[in-house]
Structures are given as C-alpha cells and as structure tokens.
Structure 1
Amino acid sequence: PISVLYFQTYKTRADADAWFASRTDQIQVIASAKGWYPGSVAFGSTQQPGLTDYADGVDTMAFLGEL
C-alpha cells in the first residue's frame, strides 16, 4: 500500500503513552494537533521534514560518509 493510517482511541493518556512506547520501532511518525504530543509533528508537517529530521532516526549523510 502507498500509506497506512491507524486510528485508535484510549481511555487515558497513560494508555496511549504505553502503546506508543511499546511500538517505537514500528512507528515512523506521530502527528498531533499543533505537535502537542511529545515527539510528534503538527498535522500537515509529516511530509515536510526539517534538516535535522532523519528517516527512521538515521542521519543519512553520516551513514553514507561511513561507507
């Protein structure tokens, strides 16, 4: 698929935190209203990364420099 959207509701913020923490290696980006959730980006910003935003946390230039 071109993209996948996963939607789930939680009873408490702690439940959401636990779910995200248990899947950090499976989640590429978390988007939230105005980026309020820790480590998230604002809606509409997921495809506009900054210079220090690396895909899957890997600094591409440093990686290529080590080859």
Structure 2
Amino acid sequence: MKKTGLCPKCGSQHILHVHNKGLWKRNSYHRITSGYHTVDVDKYICQDCGYIESYVVENDLKNVRGVTDMDI
C-alpha cells in the first residue's frame, strides 16, 4: 500500500495515509517506546475493505536497526 497505492487485499486505490503527527496523533500505536528506543508509526488504511498496514517512519528506522528485542 505504501509504495503501490493499492490495497493488497481488495485492490482498491482508496488508501488513507494517517501520518504519525496530526489529527490522529493520540491513536493507539502512534508511537512505540521501549527503554531508550522510540519510533513513530504511519498507517495506511484501505477505505473500502478496512485493511491496515503500519510502517515505522523512515527517520526513525535508525532507532530500530540492530535492536534484537524491544520488549513491547
């Protein structure tokens, strides 16, 4: 969904990108924190079937590289 703009379940092009910051900031799983590691998460939601994909924000990928267990 992130790269193709298509839902892998139903093929819809009606994808809502929920940024980690903004209107839905207080949504669950907006930010994952464990110990000294914190990452923000963007979501992609199919507006037709409800399928959701979540991705760590690119700028935060450095915070999870090399981590073996975040004990969430």
Question: Considering the TM-score relative to the shorter chain, is it more than 0.5?
Answer: no
**TM category, shorter:** under 0.3
Structure number with the bigger relative contact order (C-alpha 8 A, sep ≥ 6) is: 2
Which has more radius of gyration? 1
Q: TM-score, with normalisation over the residues of structure 1?
A: 0.24
Q: Which has the higher strand share?
A: 2
**Which structure's residues are more often helix, by fraction?**
1
